[in-house]
Chains A and B, each alone.
Chain A
Amino acid sequence: MSSHNSANDPRRPNKIHRYTPPSSTGPLEDPTPEYMNLLGMIFSMFGLMMKVKWCAWAAVYCSFISFANSRASEDAKQLLSSFMLSISAVVMTYLQNPQPMTPPW
């Protein structure tokens, strides 16, 4: 259809290369989601073991931040599991110790 335009038309349907997702550049990429995930896990385990309330809350925040910063290629299951872990940490600490948190001031 554009045969008479082919001299000016830069498109070449025969020269198509398929999209290959670039291999992850490793340390160059923003490591925030991984760090936050790890930190969230550590906080929730600490909060559960030591029954420290603010640790459990910090874990919820960390897992939320990790979720917000995550890449689409990352496993949603891991994010969900860390989120559930942090929420369970909060619930467990409150069941064991129903008093409200006391501010440090």
Chain B
Amino acid sequence: MAPVDDDEEEDGVVEDEDEFEHLDDEEFEGIDQDTVNLRKGKDQTPPPLEITKIPLHLRTNWDSFYLEMLMLAGLAVYFLNFIAGKTKNSKLATAWFDAHKELLHKEFSIVGDDGQSKEPTENHLLKESEHTYSLWCSGRVCCEGMLVELKLLKRQDLINTISRMLSPKSDQILIKVTMEETEMDSFVFAVAQKKVASKLLKEQTDLNFFCAEKKGIDKGNIPPSLQVLSEIGEATSAVFDKTFCAVLNRYESNIEFIHFSDQYSGPKQQDQDTPTTLPETKKVLLFCFNVGDKGRTTVEDMDGMKELLQLVIHCIDKVKRIKLTKEAKMKAEKNRQRMHESYLKQTHSQRQEAAQLRREEKRRTEKERIMNEEDPDKQRKLEERENRREMKRKQPKMKMMKVKSM
């Protein structure tokens, strides 16, 4: 019986028949039957309780899904923030528009054209996205049009909202006035917050080239936090009249940058290869204003921007009246010539390479065509083309020699 006791202690381990080898079959009759019966009996006693595995979703309560609940809650929060941010931005944009509508209608013939219909339409504040609104005004002396972009903060994006808590930013109004070709003399000028000024100097093609000098600039009566970048000192002094300086002093924190240029072509395209054509330039006046107090903008702040819009109008008229003296004009002309030449130099080698590539490609395509033709035709064409090429190659050398001999 000892082996059986051991087995009971070992929790129902199935015995090997080898264990009973030492027991003689003769001695113990019917032992196999007994052991079989014993084994069966042991099996019948309930094995240690095993909880059968029921699928989880049938037995659980909702508590175990708490991570999923968290996810859904996060989505709900994001959605609520989206709605709240979108409404606030929309309110700010319409507040700006309502505050400035009158002034704009006085100055421009068409305010808020959407460019869609045949006839110019009015009062369309275009929604570029949930945080960008734009307004196009046109029909005025000396300027082609004025595009006002309200670059509001991304209040509809929760991630942006959180990152703004760490580094506050302001809503911005970017005004781009495109001057008519004849109405602006050639000069490049900018006044900006110090950090912004250095950034602009690096990024903007025209400022980078024309306003590299930092000395000898007549700053006039402007606040110290603003830096001036100027090409023609005369033009700069002309811009810095009483009204301009007064407004700058009063709205010092609201001015991000003001940039006048007759060679405006946007920021430098650093990742492209130098293009083979000079970038298109326009005569523009750019104004970038910060609204409100680092993100905490209210509807009233939008009202307070009216004076800055009046500054814009004032500048348009002022720039039209600026006439450079002869000297200044010569200097400006020289600078622009210099820019053109340096551009040509930069692209010269590239244009040569491009031309060579083109020539090679042409030869390759011709050869392919020849290869595809049948034999007699091929030979004829080969000969013809080879002759032509030899003539071409010889001719310029001959011309050069003629000149030399003379």
**Using a CB–CB distance below 8 Å, which chain A residues touch chain B?**
10-22, 25, 27-28, 57, 60-61, 64-65, 68-73, 98-103
Contacts and interface: CB of A to CB of B under 8 A. Distances in A.
A16 B157 contact: no
A69 B129 contact: yes
A18 B157 CA distance: 33
Contact of B154 (A57, A69, A73, A102): A69
Contacts of B301: none
Contacts of B281: none
B218 interface: no
Contacts of A60: 71, 75
B171 to A, nearest CB: 15
A17 B144 contact: yes
Nearest to B67: A101
A17 B140 CA distance: 10
B56 A98 contact: yes
A20 B145 CA distance: 11
Mostly, the A contact residues are loop
A86 to B, nearest CB: 11
B321 to A, nearest CB: 13
Contacts of A65: 78, 157, 159
A23 B328 CA distance: 35
A16 B115 contact: no
Nearest to A14: B139
Contacts of A70: 129
B113 A19 contact: yes
Mostly, the B contact residues are mixed
A100 B140 contact: no
B115 A20 contact: yes
A10 B154 contact: no
Interface string B104-118: 001111100111000
Given A25-B266, A68-B130, A15 B140 contact: yes
B227 interface: no
Given A11-B108, A68-B157, A19 B114 contact: yes
Given A11-B109, A68-B130, A98 B120 contact: no
A36 to B, nearest CB: 10
Contacts of B129: 69-72
A11 B78 contact: no
Given A10-B140, A11-B107, A13-B109, A61 B75 contact: yes
Given A11-B108, A72-B129, A98-B56, A27 B140 contact: no
A15 B144 CA distance: 7
A18 B119 CA distance: 9
Given A61-B74, A98-B57, A99-B57, 19 more contacts: A10-B140, A11-B108, A11-B109, A11-B139, A15-B141, A16-B109, A16-B113, A16-B138, A17-B139, A18-B115, A19-B114, A19-B136, A21-B115, A60-B75, A64-B78, A70-B129, A71-B129, A99-B56, A100-B56
Nearest to A13: B109
B157 A27 contact: no
